[in-house]
Every structure is written in C-alpha cells, then in structure tokens.
Structure 1
Amino acid sequence: MGQSVTAFAPATVANVSCGFDILGFAIDRLGDKVSVSFNQEGILRVTGIEGDEGKLPLEPEKNTCSVAIQAMLNKLGSKQGIDIFLEKGLPLGSGMGSSAASAAAALEAANVLLGNPFTKEELVPFAMESERIACGSAHADNVAPSILGGFVLIRDYDPLDMVKLPVPEGIFCTLVHPHIELKTSDSRSVLRKQISLKESVMQSGNIAGFIAALYKSDLALLSRSLKDVIAEPSRALLIPGFYELRDAIKSIGSLGSGISGSGPTIFVLSPNGDIAHEAGEKAKEVFQKIGLGVDVYVSEVNKRGAFIVSR
C-alpha cells in the first residue's frame, strides 16, 4: 500500500445563533479520522468506512471525503490514484458538522500525501464541494473552522472571503445531542423566505456585537449578542427540550445557547469549564424529564483545526 497519512478534523458548531450561515467554530477532540494512501490503479476510491453503521456511501462521487479530494486533484490536474479509509467519530445528521469533518480530515491527509501543494485556507473550497453533495449547498461555515480551527467568519462567497477570529481565553462549549436525527433539508425547509427590516437590523447588531466581543474578550457583550431572530424561532420547534434547556441554564452563569448547525444538537457557551460541565448536567436533567436520550460533550474551543495524526 505504500505511504499512508492519517488526519483528524474536529466537529464544529455552525451558525452560532446570530451568525446564521456565516459563522462557525471548532470543538476539541471530537471528530473524524481519515487515512489516505496512493494506489497504482490511478483511481480515487473509498476502501472502507468504520463507525457509520453502513449508512454512508462508498461510491466516490457520493462520499464527502472522495468528492473533496477529487476537487483537489482536479485543481492540480492530477490523475493520481488514492485510497481513502474513513473512521467516523461523529453521528450523522447531528448538527455537529459531521460531513464537514470527514471532508476536512480527508483534505488535510491528502494534502500532506501529495507534498503540501495547498495552504489550509486553500483547502476550504475543495471541502465546500463535498458540502454541496452532502446537503445541497456549498457552504463553508462548518468546513472552514474544521480545517482552520477557532471561530471563522465567512464574509462572502464570491470570491470566498474568510476571517479567522480571536478566541477569548477560557471559553468552553457544551454540546447537547438529543437522540433524534434531523436532516439538514428538513431544517432548511422550515425557514422563512422573507424577514422584516427590523429583524435584519436586530440580527446585524447581534453578529456585529458578537464579533466585537471576541476581539475585546467581553463575555458580557458576547452573551447579550448570542440571539438569533431569523432561523432559531422556526428550527427550535423541531428540537424537543430546546427551550427547556435554555431556561435551565439561565441561573448557572452560562453565556447562552443556540442550535448547532441545523440541529438537533444544542450548544451552550460558558466562561469556564465548571459552568460548562454544570450546563451538561442540566441538559441531562431536562432530557430525562422529557424521556429522550442525550449525549453531552464539554470542550474548549479548538484553535488548531485539522491536523496530521500519523504519516
């Protein structure tokens, strides 16, 4: 099989409430691994997938790992054959950037295998192509933070303009994943086609305030800004326990909560690890009361992004 390179890419929270479709951040130690190696057949193929319960496609034109690598090879004008093996660490349809993490890890590994022809920033458009086949649109608010780490703002797509933002020291995230699957297409379908001028102004103020808070490390401002008036009111109705959890964390010092990506995972931002863990305990209580299983994960914001595990 020859040289093999394995990379890891982290889970992500996209939208981040007020940053609908333009803001995301990376989570630490939770994500996917992808191993790549050259083959002599001159073809791109997915040789195996572990941890997906047989749900993900092996066809190279349908798998996010191979679609992303194919976009990279097309840019290079290369016909190099590559074998891909995916280890899924993220649940599907979770709102934690599962498809993005697979693509990001595949690109990080393939880039090293091919001699590092691209910077991390240059890998993002290739990963966006995998998002196109995964959920119907080539968005970057999951793939960019999964590759780059930290908070990433997508200012524009034509051309792609990304801004990596500072991460306030000590900030933690609690991810609460209810045991339901919510398709991105379903979450998209409930969104309103039009919003009012008043709502647009409110959302603009909140995202501007949130970004200012990151630069100033002003957690009180960050908390006040963590509000979504566009997507959340519609999508929250699809997630049992969403408002109950929001009410439960008000008294413990968390900065706020929101829907991670298109859901059903809920994220809670906290100023330190103790409060983040307490938010996790509150989440377990809430979902136990409504009779729904839940996974809770507490992490600092990942500033590193995708990285090589072995080569």
Structure 2
Amino acid sequence: MKQVTAFAPATVANVSCGFDILGFAIDELGDWVQVTQSDSGILRVVEIQGDGGKLPLEPEKNTCSVAIQAMLDEMGLRQGLDIHLFKGLPLGSGMGSSAASAAAALVAANEILGNPFEKKDLVPFAMEAERIACGAAHADNVAPSIMGGFVLIRGYDPLDVVKLPVPEGLYCTLVHPHLELKTADSRSVLRQQISLKESTVQSGNIAGLIAGLFQSDFELISRSLKDVIAEPSRALLIPGFYELRESIRSVGALGSGISGSGPTIFILSQGKEIALQAGEASKEVFKKIGLGVDVYVSEVNDRGAYIQTS
C-alpha cells in the first residue's frame, strides 16, 4: 500500500491588523503527518505522538481526518486511509497547531490520490478542520501553512486567497510563553461591534502593511503593525505582553503582536541579528515575571507544506 509523509509549518495569523485575513508561514517548526492507503474503506487516525494524549483519535473530531474527509467528499470518493500524526507544535499556542496538522494531512493524501488538487485548492478542506478545532472556518492559518509565504484572505464568499511578496531580510521572532490559551476562549473575549473610527484605523493599517510588503518598506511595515480590534481584549490574557512590546523597541525591532489567538507573540525585524536580540530581550521580560518561554527565530517560509522525499 502507498505511504506518504508530509510536513506543514507553523504560522502567524492576523499579523496585528489583519484579523482573520492575513497570515504567514514559519520555517522548520511544524507538524508531520504520515498517510497510508488501506483496504478498510474508511479513514482511521491510528496514532498521535507529541500531544500528551490530548487530541482525539475519532475521525470526526481530528483535524487531519476531517480535512481529508472534506477532500474525499468533494471528489465523491471513498478511500481507506490510515493517519499517523506527529505533533511538533504545542497545543493552544497561537502558532497554527491545528492548521499545520490539517495542512500536512491534506498534502500527503493529495499525493497518494495523484495530486488532483493544486495546493491553493486544498485550503477550503483545511478550513473545515478549523471549524472543528475552534468553531470558525477561517483560513489565515491554513492558507499560509499549505501555500507558504505571506497570504491575504481577500474574501470568504467566495474564498479568495492571494499570496503576497515577502521583503528580503524580513525575520520573525516567535515568543511562546509556557501557558495554554484555547482559541475558543480567546475568541470569546472579542467585541462583536466596533466603531467607524476603529474600522478606518484598522483598514489603513492593513493597507499600509500590504503596501510595505510590496515595496519592501520596513518603516511602513513597522507603522502598520497596530491592531485596534482584537489585541486590546486578548492582550489582557497574556502576561508580559506590553512589557515585551516596550523591550523590543530598544533593539530596533519593527513591531510585535499576538500570533493568532495567542499566547505566542510574534516580532518582526529587519535582519537576523535584530531578530535574535529581540528574542533575548523577550526572555528577560518573562524571566522577571517568572514565566518560562520558548523563543524561535525564522525567516518567512515561502515553501509551505511539502512531501518528505527521503
């Protein structure tokens, strides 16, 4: 029976001002999924490693199998597949953990089935997995995890996914505090209505960030990394958030924000050296408040999910 293993990277969603419409992929950090053909005629989640026993094996509840089932349904196909998930991402981290699992599963299954779908066309199936994971079928994690790079979700009805350019030398520092923040809980604190003024400010920042990416204008990117919609509510759930923001300014970072629904914080910098310094400054902030952190520095990953070939 044919067997394929795929990797899908961690992602940063929202990117401050782009709530549910912007995201980008990280290098190397992510999940692996092995998919094997079987003669059972059904999807089975056979094994999960690295989750501490927290993720469900039931195929109707696991993001890997839900995503693959959505693809099979679209094809009108019944196919026996066994799924082995190897988690490289912590749960509830704000780094697109559920999205990476779904993305890797889809890329592996697509390969087994003869690649009937382009990468971009896999995004709607992964969105169904996100619906199971957090109650909302958003694409700002799954699209960059599958496609790589910076991605704009221009619209959802119909889905319109646009890949954006990445300026050379743009680095991301991820700071993951040792606490779990569930996406559903983080969404529950959001306001359901915003003012016209807030909408105008947010729209200007989104436009500025995208223009900065196209023009490789790091100062414009820096000025645009401001969120007036989600961050004010969510930041209260993350100890040290505002202290970190102050600390990274002193080393010359472009700006910071909440990665997805948190608690991971992302920092954008021009150049690897500043990104590393921002990471060290962040460690000091959390050391003072007695909270452990993991820090990861990466360029933006333009490759996205891929098949393991060796």
* TM-score, structure 2 normalization: 0.99
| Structure 1: tracts of 5 or more residues without a match | none
Quote the residue 2:145 is aligned against. Answer: 146
Quote the residue 1:228 is aligned against. Answer: 227
Work out whether 1:302 is the aligned partner of 2:301: yes
Deviating above 4 A after TM superposition, structure 1's stretches of 4 or more consecutive aligned residues are none
Quote the residue 1:166 is aligned against. Answer: 165
Following the alignment from structure 1 to structure 2, what is the Cα–Cα distance between the partners of residues 53 and 208? 41
Quote the residue 1:127 is aligned against. Answer: 126
Shift of 1:133: 0.2
| Counterpart AA for 1:249 | I
Following the alignment from structure 2 to structure 1, what is the Cα–Cα distance between the partners of residues 184 and 128? 17
Quote the residue 1:104 is aligned against. Answer: 103
Shift of 1:234: 0.7
Instruction: Name the SS for the 1:18 alignment partner.
Output: coil
Instruction: Name the SS for the 2:34 alignment partner.
Output: strand
Following the alignment from structure 2 to structure 1, what is the Cα–Cα distance between the partners of residues 76 and 82? 18
Work out whether 1:260 is the aligned partner of 2:291: no
Following the alignment from structure 1 to structure 2, what is the Cα–Cα distance between the partners of residues 279 and 185? 29
Instruction: Name the SS for the 1:17 alignment partner.
Output: coil
Following the alignment from structure 1 to structure 2, what is the Cα–Cα distance between the partners of residues 184 and 54? 19
Following the alignment from structure 1 to structure 2, what is the Cα–Cα distance between the partners of residues 135 and 187? 10
Following the alignment from structure 2 to structure 1, what is the Cα–Cα distance between the partners of residues 243 and 80? 51
Quote the residue 2:193 is aligned against. Answer: 194
Shift of 1:280: 0.6
Following the alignment from structure 2 to structure 1, what is the Cα–Cα distance between the partners of residues 155 and 199? 17
**Matched positions, count:** 310
Work out whether 1:275 is the aligned partner of 2:270: no
Shift of 1:253: 1.0
Quote the residue 2:70 is aligned against. Answer: 71
Shift of 1:310: 3.2
Following the alignment from structure 2 to structure 1, what is the Cα–Cα distance between the partners of residues 56 and 246? 40
Shift of 1:41: 1.0
Identity %: 78
| Structure 2: tracts of 5 or more residues without a match | none
| Counterpart AA for 1:235 | R
Following the alignment from structure 2 to structure 1, what is the Cα–Cα distance between the partners of residues 143 and 161? 8
Shift of 1:123: 0.3
Following the alignment from structure 1 to structure 2, what is the Cα–Cα distance between the partners of residues 78 and 29? 33
Instruction: Name the SS for the 1:263 alignment partner.
Output: coil
Which stretch shows the higher mean deviation, 188-197 or 255-264? 188-197
1:212-259 Cα deviation digits (max 9, x unpaired): 000000000000000001110110000001000000011111000000
* TM-score, structure 1 normalization: 0.99
| Counterpart AA for 1:90 | L
Following the alignment from structure 1 to structure 2, what is the Cα–Cα distance between the partners of residues 26 and 144? 9
Instruction: Name the SS for the 1:181 alignment partner.
Output: coil
Which stretch shows the higher mean deviation, 234-243 or 189-198? 189-198
Following the alignment from structure 2 to structure 1, what is the Cα–Cα distance between the partners of residues 309 and 231? 40
Following the alignment from structure 2 to structure 1, what is the Cα–Cα distance between the partners of residues 64 and 188? 26
Root-mean-square deviation (CA), in Å?
0.7
| Counterpart AA for 2:303 | R
Following the alignment from structure 2 to structure 1, what is the Cα–Cα distance between the partners of residues 253 and 158? 37
Following the alignment from structure 1 to structure 2, what is the Cα–Cα distance between the partners of residues 138 and 175? 24
Following the alignment from structure 1 to structure 2, what is the Cα–Cα distance between the partners of residues 151 and 3? 33
